[in-house]
Amino acid sequence: MRDVVIAGAAMTRFGKFAGTTVRALAEEATAQALADAGIGPGDVQWAAFGNAVGGILQGQEMIRGQAALRHTGLLGVPIVNVENACASGSSAFHLAWMAVASGAVDVALAVGAEKLTHPDKARSFAALGTAVDLDQIGDLEAQVTGGGAHASGVGASPLPEHGHAGQRSFFMDIYAANTRAYMARSGATVEDFAQVAVKSHRHAALNPKAQYRQPVTVGEVLGSRVVAPPLTLLMCSPIGDGAAAVVVCSEDYARRLEADTVRVRATALVSGRDRAPEEETSVERAARTAYEAAGVGPEDLDVVELHDAAAPAELMTYEELGLCPAGDGRKLLASGATALGGRVPVNPSGGLLSKGHPIGATGCGQLVELADQLRGRCGARQVEAARVALAENGGGFLGADSAAMVVTILSR
């Protein structure tokens, strides 16, 4: 396999944009990513388009990428449509990396785009709820009732400003059950989860592309509406819209460009499985594969973007990525190590909680943030001397595991 680099990366603002379309969002991110790489659409040889719920919410099935990218100048090259729940964007990136690493092409593009906001809020909630095995939904409901499920990769939460009072996604029940089980085995408290939200909002206040940029206090997080005990509103990621795009190319091709490149050290995509409680989660399996391929370990990471669709998932994922021992997520957070200025800042973008979670765009959005961190472009939220970065992005829910999981490692 050939070495692959990111030559261009860009994203739109994440937020609620009633008057825009998936196409407009994808066009904006694509044009900016190509300009960042110093190439035109005619230089792209292969493209992957990540989108999760466009078929349900906009009615565009089967050719979403061709439709969204129709006016970008990319028509004529192979465009592959990728639907992999909240991991759609990172899965599109994984395929683009494979196209270049295999030698099939020299330049590939990954785009993730989603418009989750909809005039009928219930349709957004319903769309998110399809990222489970509907043939075995009864098993999942029983699992949630029993309180033992790992849900770090499932979709965004319904927030009251997005719908009528009392509406919520079944996913929040999954997260809540998982959170209660984690509290029992680790000693973590709701105050710990509130501190995750406080950190995320503090970071997002420094990110002009973030959906929610207002700092919050622990009291405000704990005092916000209870969505599913013990999760409160400000512990849950919002519904929103956005797009992100990443240009990857071979090292040989990159030498012809003036682009500021970032090396793709590894990208590992796994599916969830019906696992016993003591077996590895999808995060652990993908991280182990990525660490081995990259020749690094968690101790080498300088900055991390992880999938915090609900605040407790951040603490759980610290442990699964090996940033700390099992059960010590709350201690790592309290130490300040994962805040800006700490040993390994996590979600300097604001993460899903505050930057936003337009699900098909999320994975590519994480990679844009990390590419910019490694290139020293993040301004007030810049991680000093960042050299090695990791992104973890999951999607859907299958049994006791995320249905899809991607872990990517980048470096200077």
Q: Return the pLDDT at 156.
A: 38
Do 49 and 96 belong together in one domain? yes
357 carries an active-site annotation: yes
Do 229 and 249 belong together in one domain? no
Q: Return the pLDDT at 399.
A: 79
Do 103 and 182 belong together in one domain? no
CA dist list (Å): 87 to 97, 185, 407: 15, 28, 10
Do 68 and 204 belong together in one domain? no
Long-range Cβ contact pairs of 27-32 (< 8 A, separation 24 or more): 27/68, 27/69, 27/71, 27/72, 28/243, 29/111, 29/113, 29/243, 29/244, 29/245, 29/361, 29/364, 30/69, 30/72, 30/74, 30/109, 30/111, 30/243, 30/245, 31/72, 32/245
Do 209 and 342 belong together in one domain? yes
pLDDT digits (tens, 9 = 90+) for 48-96: 999 999 999 999 999 999 999 999 999 999 999 999 999 999 999 999 9
Q: Quote the CA–CA distance of 24 and 137 in Å, as a whole number.
A: 35
Do 211 and 328 belong together in one domain? yes
236 carries an active-site annotation: no
CA dist list (Å): 4 to 103, 406, 409: 10, 17, 12
> For residue 217, what are the contacts with CB-CB under 8 A and spacing of at least 6?
198
Would the pTM count as exceeding 0.85? yes
Q: Which residues is 344 bridged to in the sheet?
A: none
pLDDT digits (tens, 9 = 90+) for 346-361: 999 999 999 999 999 9
Q: Return the pLDDT at 174.
A: 85
Residue reference for tokens 């919410």: 57
Residue reference for tokens 């996590």: 346
Whether residue 201 contacts residue 214, with contact meaning beta carbons closer than 8 Å, is answered with yes
Q: Which amino acid, one-letter code, is at 297? A: G
Do 326 and 190 belong together in one domain? yes
pLDDT digits (tens, 9 = 90+) for 190-204: 999 999 999 999 999
Residue 238, token pair as written in the block: 């919002």
The average confidence (pLDDT) of the chain is 93
Kindly state whether residue 334 falls inside one of the protein's structural domains.
Answer: yes
Query: Cα 123 vs. chain centroid, distance in angstroms?
Result: 22
Full domain range(s) for residue 226: 132-236+268-411
Q: Return the pLDDT at 169.
A: 65
Q: Return the pLDDT at 148.
A: 52
Q: Quote the CA–CA distance of 401 and 274 in Å, as a whole number.
A: 7
pLDDT band for 392, please (50, 70, 90 cuts).
Answer: very high
Q: Count structural domains, the chain.
A: 2
Kindly state whether residue 100 falls inside one of the protein's structural domains.
Answer: yes
Residue 373, token pair as written in the block: 């961190």
Residue 167, token pair as written in the block: 């509406």
Do 212 and 76 belong together in one domain? no
pLDDT digits (tens, 9 = 90+) for 129-188: 899 888 988 887 877 776 555 434 333 333 333 333 345 667 778 889 999 999 999 999
Do 354 and 212 belong together in one domain? yes
Kindly state whether residue 127 falls inside one of the protein's structural domains.
Answer: no
Do 246 and 218 belong together in one domain? no
Kindly state whether residue 123 falls inside one of the protein's structural domains.
Answer: no
Q: Return the pLDDT at 157.
A: 37
Which of these is catalytic: 86, 324, 364, 378? Answer: 86
Count of helices and strands (H, E) across the chain: 15, 11
Query: Which runs of E-coded beta strand occur in 12-89?
Result: 46-50, 79-82
Kindly state whether residue 345 falls inside one of the protein's structural domains.
Answer: yes
Q: Which amino acid, one-letter code, is at 129? A: G
Do 246 and 359 belong together in one domain? no
Q: Return the pLDDT at 146.
A: 67
Region 23-46: mean pLDDT is 98
Whether residue 20 contacts residue 267, with contact meaning beta carbons closer than 8 Å, is answered with no
**What are the helix (H) ranges across 88-232?**
88-101, 121-128, 137-146, 170-186, 190-204, 218-223
> For residue 332, what are the contacts with CB-CB under 8 A and spacing of at least 6?
315, 318, 323, 324, 338
Q: Which residues is 129 bridged to in the sheet?
A: none
Find the CATH number of the domain harbouring 88.
3.40.47.10
pLDDT at 390 over 90: yes
Do 168 and 38 belong together in one domain? no
Which of these is catalytic: 118, 162, 203, 357? Answer: 357
Kindly state whether residue 125 falls inside one of the protein's structural domains.
Answer: no
Q: Return the pLDDT at 143.
A: 75
